[in-house]
Amino acid sequence: MKTTLLSITDQIRTEADAYEYLENLRWPNGPICPTCHGSDVYLIQPSNGISRKTRDGVMTQRRAWNCRSCRRAGHSPQFSAISGTVMHGTKAPVRVWVLVLFDMIAAKNGISAREVERKYGVCGRTAWFICHRIRECMKSDALLATMRGTIVADETYLGGSVKRMNRKTRDRLIERRNAPGGLRGTTSKTPVLSLINAQTGEVRSAVVPSVTGATLRKVMSEHVDMAGSVLWTDEGTFYEALGREFIAHNTVNHSAEEYVSRRTGASINKAENFFSQMKRSIDGTHHHISVEHIQRYVDEHSFRYSTCKMADADRMAMVVERADGRRLTYKRVKAESHR
C-alpha cells in the first residue's frame, strides 16, 4: 500500500497509534533498548489498551517499554520510540511529529514553520523547532560513507543584496563577518559548495567561509574518496590544484558557452539543476532564511534531491533511522540564531 497523508492519518488516530507507527519505522525487526541495545524488552501495557496512569497519577497514551537487562544492571529500564532521538523530551504531540515529518520529506519544495503552525495548531516557536530537528536528521555527516565515482562539484551563493537590507540587518551582517572565524568579504551572500555523485545522484552540500582551494578541499576530503574518483567542474581556477588529487579532473568552459565538454563529456548541469530547485524552493516556501541556519536548509534540500527516486515510506524510515543518537536542544538552536 502506498504511503499517503490520508493513509497515515488513518493509522495514527491516537497518540498510542503514533508511538506504534514510529516503533515500526525505528525498529522494523522489533524494539531494541537504546541504552544497552538489547532485545530483552517488554511493553508496559495500558490498563484500557490505550492509556495508562503514570507514577504522578497522570493519564498518558505514551507507549513505554522496559528493558530487563538494564534493570538488572541498575540503569533506567524504561524507554519509548522517541528515546535517544531528536524527538527526545518533546512536549509536542507525537502525531504532529509524524505528520510534519511526512510533509517535509514528501513536499518537493519543503514546508515552512508558519505552515506547520497553521496546519497543526502548534505555536510558531514549536513549529520552527520541530522543523529544525527534522532537518538535523537529514544532514550528511561523518556517519555516512564517503562518495566515490564521478563527482560533479560547483558552488553557488545564497542570500539577499546588501543594498536591500535595513540598517539593523546590514550592521548585524558586518559584525558577523568581522567576528573571529566569520565569513569574510563584502558580499552579503553565503557561498555553498555542492558535490553530486553522477552515478547515484547523491548530493552533499556545505556552507563554506569563502570559495578558495583550501576551503573547498576541506569539504571534499570529508565527503569524497578523492584518490578513487573523477572530478567534473567548471573552469574555476580554485579547482586546479585540487583536481590533481583525483584520478582525473575534467572541466567545462562556460565562458565559451560550453555546457557539455566535447572532448570528455564532462558537465556540471546536475549541480546547476540542484541549485535551481533549491533556490526556487527557498524563495517560494520560506521567502527568507537566517544566515546562521543556511546549512540545515541546504541539508534538507540535499536529502530530498538525493532520495527523489525513493518511496515516501522509505524516506521516512531513513530519517527516523538517522534520528537515533542525535540531539538538538532549543537552547542550542537559539544560540546559533544570535551568533
Q: How many domains are contained in the chain? A: 1
Asked if 259 and 267 count as a contact pair (C-beta separation under 8 A), the reply is yes
Q: Is residue 290 part of a domain?
A: yes
Q: What is the rounded average pLDDT of the residues 180-196?
A: 72
215-241 tens-digit pLDDT: 999 999 999 999 999 999 999 999 999
Looking at residue 157, its pLDDT comes to: 93
pLDDT category at 186 given cuts 50, 70, 90 is very low
Asked if 233 and 193 count as a contact pair (C-beta separation under 8 A), the reply is no
pLDDT category at 112 given cuts 50, 70, 90 is very high
Between residues 39 and 338, the one the model is more confident about: 39
Q: Cα separation of 150 and 334, whole Å?
A: 39
43-52 tens-digit pLDDT: 987 766 677 7
Q: Is residue 314 part of a domain?
A: no
Looking at residue 333, its pLDDT comes to: 86
Torsion of CA 23, 27, 30, 34, to 10 degrees: -90
pLDDT at residue 252 above 50?
yes
CA distances from 179 to 169, 184, 233 (A): 16, 9, 32
| Secondary-structure percent of the chain, ordered helix, strand, coil, rounded to 5 | 45, 15, 40
Asked if 289 and 160 count as a contact pair (C-beta separation under 8 A), the reply is no
Looking at residue 262, its pLDDT comes to: 85
Q: Is residue 168 part of a domain?
A: yes
pLDDT at residue 214 above 80?
yes
Looking at residue 73, its pLDDT comes to: 86
pLDDT at residue 182 above 90?
no
Beta-carbon contacts of 162 under 8 Å, excluding residues fewer than 6 positions away, are 170, 173, 186, 187, 188
CATH number, domain of 255, equals 3.30.420.10
Give the helix ranges, DSSP H, for the chain: 5-11, 15-26, 68-73, 94-106, 113-120, 124-138, 167-178, 213-223, 240-243, 269-281, 294-306, 312-323, 330-337
Q: What is the rounded average pLDDT of the residues 194-212?
A: 94
Helix (H, G, I), strand (E, B) or coil at 203: strand
Cell numbers found for residue 163: 543594498
Q: Is residue 274 part of a domain?
A: yes
Q: Is residue 302 part of a domain?
A: yes
Looking at residue 250, its pLDDT comes to: 95
Helix (H, G, I), strand (E, B) or coil at 154: strand
Domain membership of residue 175 as a residue range:
150-307
Q: Is residue 46 part of a domain?
A: no
Looking at residue 338, its pLDDT comes to: 60
Q: Is residue 215 part of a domain?
A: yes
Looking at residue 195, its pLDDT comes to: 96
pLDDT category at 177 given cuts 50, 70, 90 is low
Helix H, strand E, coil C: the string for 237-250 is: HHHHHHHCCCCEEE
Q: Is residue 161 part of a domain?
A: yes
